[in-house]
């Protein structure tokens, strides 16, 4: 009786090792993608916040200084700290009674190892002041 059971389930032996290798490979691929993508996405989100702060501070500056030039200079200075590509497009302009800062750039992010798949992270954000500064 025991011999028949052994013959019947022989094909199921060893599948745990294969499943473990597949799970570890999947975890490695997801971890690799996250390790490369998360810093780029976090940098983009933080840069959006810094752009917003620069626009608000530039709009609130008293005096007859050139707010457009000051905002553009500050955004370019901030960009160097966030690893923004040097070919990024910066546009700061007066629209009505508010100042808008617009930045566009693209960055290549390696999702799969060995260059099998590379994704393009596209950043396109326009920062405008909100609240009492727009009145």
What stretches of the chain adopt beta strand conformation (E)?
A: 89-95, 98-112, 117-127
CA 1 vs CA 7, 8, 10: distances in Å: 10, 11, 15
What are the tens digits of pLDDT across the range 24-39?
A: 999 999 999 999 999 9
Beta pairing, strands 117-127 & 98-112: antiparallel
Does the structure show a pLDDT above 90 at 132? no
* pLDDT score at 37: 96
Domain ranges for the chain, please list them.
2-134
* pLDDT score at 2: 58
What are the tens digits of pLDDT across the range 53-107?
A: 999 888 777 666 778 888 999 999 999 899 899 999 999 998 887 889 999 999 9
CA pair distance 71, 51, nearest whole angstrom? 9
Residue 127 gets the label, from left (phi > 0), alpha (psi -120 to 50) or beta, of beta
* pLDDT score at 29: 95
């Amino acid at each position: 009786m025991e011999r028949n059971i052994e013959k019947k389930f022989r094909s199921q032996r060893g599948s745990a090792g294969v499943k473990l290798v597949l799970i570890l490979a999947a975890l490695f691929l997801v971890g690799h993608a996250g390790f490369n993508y998360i810093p780029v996405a976090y940098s983009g989100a933080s840069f959006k916040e810094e752009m917003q702060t620069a626009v608000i501070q530039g709009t609130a500056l008293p005096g007859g200084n050139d707010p457009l030039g000051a905002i553009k200079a500050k955004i370019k200075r901030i960009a160097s700290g966030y690893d923004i590509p040097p070919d990024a497009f910066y546009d700061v302009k007066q629209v009505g009674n508010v100042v808008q800062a617009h930045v566009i750039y693209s960055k290549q992010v390696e999702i799969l190892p060995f260059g099998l798949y590379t994704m393009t992270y596209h950043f396109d954000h326009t920062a405008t002041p909100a609240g009492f500064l727009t009145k």
